[in-house]
Amino acid sequence: MGIQAKVYLVGAGPGDPDLLTVKALRLLQTADTLVYDRLVSREILELIPETVSRIFVGKASSRHTLSQQEINALLVELARKRPGVVRLKGGDPFIFGRGGEEALALARNNIPFEVVPGITAAQACAAYAGIPLTHRGLARGVQFITGHRKDNEALVIDPASVADPDQTLVVYMGLANLPLIVSDLLNAGRAADTPAAMVERGTTSRQRNIVTTIGHLQETVERYAIQSPAMLIIGPVVSLAEELNWFMPWAQEMELKYA
């Protein structure tokens, strides 16, 4: 089935092209126009035919090619001129991807759209680091939070929501505010010796893992110069990372400090 005249909000997954859904790949190869983010990997872009028109709208912390409002307007404009527009977003469009805002802009302008879920970075980075987000006896739940606020607003973490030691906590975009996050977690009652992992460029050939504790997290991140994109995972399940490290058994970045 060919691509229809609508906007497709497509999740690219975390970076490994083999984690694209079959539907996402089909749409990428039959699109007229591609609008894509900074976190879409080079390997995924290489799967797209050269005949597809490409528009880069990547955003990094405090550095935006276009604002979110401008991206919304661009999608509306393109949909009125082009037969098949694919908006490709890293991870999943509806999990800290602002896909909901783009869908609302389309809906309010009577633009047909479709959402194609992608594997979100939280589950993929954890799996590729050998960390099950839930595990019997170690975690009875998992919570996804953002470590970054829109328009550079101050980050506020609700202590009650992150205090449960039996719940795995996954923090997206947490590097810039890491000292504040660590302080808030300790103030919320999380023990300093709680296992913590940072997964840089998860699922790609450039992935690096560090495994430490909340108390040593900041110094370990600085020691290894961890850079964005990186996913922070906190909780007892991180203690399984060394045994379950299937993706990078040769890695030397494993820093274990379970005192």
pLDDT digits (tens, 9 = 90+) for 154-164: 677 888 889 99
Active-site annotation holds for 81: no
Residue 45's contacts (CB-CB under 8 Å, 6 or more residues apart) are: 36, 54
Rg (CA), the chain: 19
Domains and their CATH numbers in the chain: 7-116 (3.40.1010.10), 121-240 (3.30.950.10)
Give ∠ CA 42-45-50 in degrees, rounded to 5.
Answer: 135
Whether the pTM exceeds 0.85: the reply is yes
Catalytic entry in 59, 164, 184, 257:
59
Q: CA 84 → CA 6, 30, 112, 236, distances in Å?
A: 6, 8, 11, 45
Task: Write down the catalytic residue from 16, 37, 89, 92.
Answer: 37
pLDDT of 156 reads 75
Write out pLDDT tens, residues 69-117: 999 999 999 999 998 999 999 999 999 999 999 999 999 999 999 999 9
92 is catalytic: no
Tens of pLDDT, residues 38-54:
999 999 999 999 999 99
